[in-house]
Amino acid sequence: MLPKIIGSILLLAALLIFNIPLHAQEKERLGPGWLSLDGSVGLLDKKVQEGKSTIEKAFRDKH
């Protein structure tokens, strides 16, 4: 029990000494650029639509 208490105290002391934030930081959205997925969204939408139409056609043919 004593090691857990000492560990908790040391953790809190380290957080206070190094001023480590305890809350989640707001994430920044990626803008258009090298890491952005904007350029591939159209391609993915097209592939999803093709797959969807293929599945719909298979269901129509079966029924």
CB 1 within 8 Å of CB 7: no
DSSP code per residue over 41-60: HHHHHHHHHHHHHHHHHHHH
Residues 14 and 20: beta-carbon distance below 8 Å: yes
**Once rounded to an integer, what is the mean pLDDT over residues 6-11?**
90
pTM: 0.35
Q: Work out the average pLDDT over 21-33.
A: 63
Residue 49: pLDDT band (50, 70, 90) is: confident
What pLDDT, on a 0 to 100 scale, did the predictor assign at position 5?
Answer: 92
Both structure tokens of 9: 């105290």
